[in-house]
Amino acid sequence: MAAAKALIFDVGDYVVYPKHGVGRVIELQRSEIAGMQLELYVLRFEKERMTLRVPTNKAESVGMRKLSSSKTMDEALETLKGKPRVKRTMWSRRAQEYEAKINSGDLVSIAEVTRDLFRADDQPEQSYSERQIFEAASSRLARELAAMEQIDEPAALRKLLEILNAAAAIYNRDKEAAGAK
């Protein structure tokens, strides 16, 4: 039997599982599966009302991680202030790229999707699928911010939308000024 590896996460830790976002380790379980003893992290995702069991030896390979550092969160929030970048490729291809960024679990990539798909109230309406992807990305970002700042998700989302609206006001003003020339 190999020496037991120190566990990366403890019960009570908030963790990020790339495909599902922020969850919490609610227990460590031992199970016998196909005659093998397995140690499992039991993760609870409140928003989805979902419980996930992840073998402790697979946690790293599936990309499970602790909450981001405040430096990474600051970088993500700074990303929201940037100018939105919209590629001129077909929507289906862009949608795939956005989904991949969200599922990567990388906070700055998720912030890029949130920024690029954000629409201020005075901007043209989004398509249903754009809105869905925007909500997935902004919710993922808000949940991690909420866990880090110990606030609820709606408060975290309001904070993100304030940043996005302030940035949109600047870029729209610049666009109007350029159009007036």
Tens-digit pLDDT profile for residues 130-174: 999 999 999 999 999 999 999 999 999 999 999 999 998 888 776
E strand map for the chain: 14-17, 21-33, 36-45, 50-55, 65-66
Q: How far apart are CA 21 and CA 11, in angstroms?
A: 17
- pLDDT tens sequence across 77-124: 999 999 999 888 999 999 999 999 999 999 999 999 999 999 988 888
Collapse the DSSP code of 137 into the 3-class scheme (helix H, G, I; strand E, B; otherwise coil) and give the result: helix
Same domain? 62 vs 93: no
Q: Are 135 and 101 in contact (CB under 8 A)?
A: no
Give me the pLDDT at residue 3, please: 42
* pTM: predicted TM-score of the whole model, two decimal places: 0.86
**Angle of helix 70-80 versus helix 107-117 axis, rounded to 10:** 20
Same domain? 136 vs 88: yes
Q: Compute the half-sphere exposure of residue 174: CA atoms within 13 Å on the CB side of its CA.
A: 8
Domain-embedded: residue 5:
no
Q: Which residue has the higher pLDDT, 48 or 81?
A: 81
Domain that holds residue 136: 70-180
Closest to 150 in 3D by CA, of 42, 26, 21, 22 = 22
β-bridge partners, 27: 42
Same domain? 24 vs 87: no
Q: Based on the structure, what is the number of domains in the chain?
A: 2
Same domain? 98 vs 175: yes
Amino acid at the residue 16 = V
Q: Which of 1-10, 32-41, 69-78, 96-105 has the lowest mean pLDDT?
A: 1-10
